[in-house]
């Protein structure tokens, strides 16, 4: 530690000018196809730099240009402006056609995360095939979240940074129609009255129903 600060001792006290820091962030983001976190930027830039401020400058600079600076979760990336997509048909990546089941499952995970398999099944009314989940995991659009603190401690699914990147979302809070769905109570985990025979899944819903008083809703609240 100490020896390092010896080497770069002077930069500790004198970070490069902001214009220079902006150039550095620009260069790093242009060179990378994946989003880069502020921490990674700080890591690669000289000591004393403020990547967050440099990013703010850079974002303004690229407003209205052919490429833009976009936020993806807690990372940043350069992306072409969406209105110019038609020029890029040569670059278009043929994505694997997702089944309706996969698309619905993905949406349920995005809007209800963190969500268990049983909850997905309750919403869709059918069991979720292993292949569907595997496919979404393989595409790196979903991943395992924390286990629920309910009997059996079931695993949950959440969406990934790659999901946000693919769909151009800054965060899961920016999902289209999220506020309306929430105010309509459609993201509530409403337990079925009494012990109704639930389609697709049996009896453990009751337990899981009660579990997410905080759950996804809280995730999106702030």
Partner 1 sequence: MAEDTFGQHESKQGDGNVAARLAAEALIVDVDGFEGPLDLLLSLSRTQKVDLRRISILELARQYLTFVERAKQLRLELAADYLVMAAWLAYLKSRLLLPPDPEEEGPSGEEMAAHLAFQLERLQAMRDAAAKLMARDRLGRDVFARGLPEDVTRVRRVRYTATLLDLMQGYARLRTRDEFRPYVMDREAVFTMEEALDRLRGLIGYSGDWTEISGFLPEGWTEDPARRRSATASTFAASLELVKEGSAEMRQSDTFAPIQMRRKDRSGE
Binding stretches for a second copy (CB under 8 A): 1-6, 22-28, 30-33, 40, 43-45, 64-67, 78, 80-81, 84-92, 139-140, 162, 165-166
| 50/70 Cα distance (integer angstroms) | 18
- Shortest distance, CB of residue 181 to a second copy, whole angstroms? 23
Interface with partner 1 includes 93 (CB under 8 A)?
yes
In which order are the strands placed within the sheet that holds 67-72? 36-37, 75-80, 67-72
| 29/79 Cα distance (integer angstroms) | 10
Distances (CA, A) of 169 to 76, 86, 100, 146: 11, 20, 22, 22
Number of residues that bind partner 1 (CB under 8 A): 74
What's the CA dihedral at 16, 18, 21, 27 to 10 degrees? -140
- Shortest distance, CB of residue 155 to partner 1, whole angstroms? 17
Interface with partner 1 includes 94 (CB under 8 A)?
yes
| 210/182 Cα distance (integer angstroms) | 17
Q: Of 14 and 170, which has the nearer Cβ to partner 1?
A: 170
Backbone angles phi, psi at 68, to 5 degrees: -130, 160
Interface with partner 1 includes 80 (CB under 8 A)?
yes
103 binds, among a second copy, partner 1, none (CB under 5 to 8 A by kind): partner 1
Interface with partner 1 includes 165 (CB under 8 A)?
yes
Binding mask 25-44 for partner 1 (x = CB under 8 A): --x--xxxxx----------
Interface with partner 1 includes 52 (CB under 8 A)?
no
The answer to whether the CB of 161 falls within 8 A of the CB of 169 is: no
Q: Of 31 and 149, which has the nearer Cβ to a second copy?
A: 31
Interface with partner 1 includes 191 (CB under 8 A)?
yes
The answer to whether the CB of 108 falls within 8 A of the CB of 125 is: no
Interface with partner 1 includes 98 (CB under 8 A)?
yes
């Amino acid at each position: 530690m100490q020896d390092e600060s010896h080497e770069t001792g002077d930069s500790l006290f004198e970070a490069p000018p902001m214009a220079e820091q902006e150039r550095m962030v620009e260069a790093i983001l242009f060179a990378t196809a994946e989003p880069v976190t502020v921490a990674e930027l700080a890591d690669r830039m000289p000591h004393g730099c403020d990547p967050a401020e440099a990013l703010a400058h850079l974002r303004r600079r690229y407003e209205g240009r052919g490429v833009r600076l976009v936020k993806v979760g807690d990372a940043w990336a350069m992306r072409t402006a969406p209105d110019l997509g038609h020029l890029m048909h040569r670059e278009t990546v043929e994505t694997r056609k997702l089944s309706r089941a996969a698309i619905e499952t993905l949406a349920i995970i995005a809007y209800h995360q963190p969500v268990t398999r049983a909850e997905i099944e309750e919403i869709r009314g059918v069991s979720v095939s292993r292949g569907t989940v595997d496919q979404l995991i393989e595409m790196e659009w979903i991943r395992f979240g924390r286990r629920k603190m309910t009997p059996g401690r079931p695993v949950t699914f959440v969406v990934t940074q790659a999901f946000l990147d693919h769909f151009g979302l800054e965060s899961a809070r920016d999902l289209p129609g999220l506020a309306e769905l929430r105010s309509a109570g459609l993201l509530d985990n409403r337990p079925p009255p009494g012990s109704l025979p639930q389609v697709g899944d049996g009896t453990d819903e009751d337990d899981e129903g009660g579990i997410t008083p905080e759950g996804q809703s809280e995730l999106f609240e702030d």
